[in-house]
Amino acid sequence: MKIFYLKFGNRYFDIKYGIDTAANTPLDSLEFDSYNKNEGIEYGTVSPYFVRKILRKLLINESDIIIDCGCGKGRVLLIASQYKFNKVIGIEFSPELIAIAYANIKRCKKYNNFNIDKIKIFEGDVLDYKFNNNESVFYLYNPFSNIILDKLCDHIVRSFNTNPRKILIAYVNPKFHNSIIGKGFVKIHEINLINKMCYIYSTE
């Protein structure tokens, strides 16, 4: 019964707001070129219930800035805008997914329960993102290979060394858990998402 409820909630979120965020999208079905496309994994997401469960576990405050690495169609961006993040930033390298995300954001502007002005999307490869050294939360739904994850973690560590602060990584379907642990992050929480896990890591 709970699985049925979660599947219904997954679709209902899109139906309620007239958006498109639920369906998985393989990268090989998208017509774009990127030097790291072969290292990417299909767009996927979890139900809004689980996204909120993850965000509540982070104990965020008004100064926190969240980065959704591989934001796809923007579901996590929209839900995160309902929380007290200072900024909500998505990174996506597929122009087709970015176009869908922007369309979803535009449709949600008329609803008061989203804070759309918080949302920004960086259009490009995650390794080309220029850190401001104040980002504090990173969300990943297993978006790419361990090769890219290793390099991303190097960038996060470099940003931390420039401006030491608490940084959290929420990693859904953590296939390359050891890549994060190997960079010095500590796993502080495990969240059961029924058919997959989410691990949360911290610099503290």
How many Cβ atoms from other residues are within 10 Å of residue 38's Cβ? 11
- Whether residue 35 is predicted with pLDDT greater than 80 in this model: the reply is no
The residue ranking higher by pLDDT, 61 or 29, is 61
Q: For the chain, list the domains and their CATH numbers.
A: 2-202 (3.40.50.150)
Joined together, the tokens standing for residue 35 give: 């030097």
- Whether residue 36 is predicted with pLDDT greater than 60 in this model: the reply is yes
Q: What CA–CA distances, in Å, run from 37 to 51, 113, 123, 137, 172? A: 26, 34, 14, 24, 20
Query: What's the sign of the alpha-carbon dihedral 21, 23, 28, 29?
Result: negative
Joined together, the tokens standing for residue 142 give: 């297993």
Chain length of the chain: 204
The residue ranking higher by pLDDT, 46 or 159, is 159
- Looking at residue 1, its pLDDT comes to 47
- Whether residue 9 is predicted with pLDDT greater than 70 in this model: the reply is no
- Looking at residue 3, its pLDDT comes to 57
- 84: closest CA among 54, 107, 60? 60
Contact 94, 32 (CB under 8 A): yes
The whole-chain average pLDDT of the chain stands at: 92
Q: Under DSSP, is residue 134 helix (H, G, I), strand (E, B) or coil?
A: coil
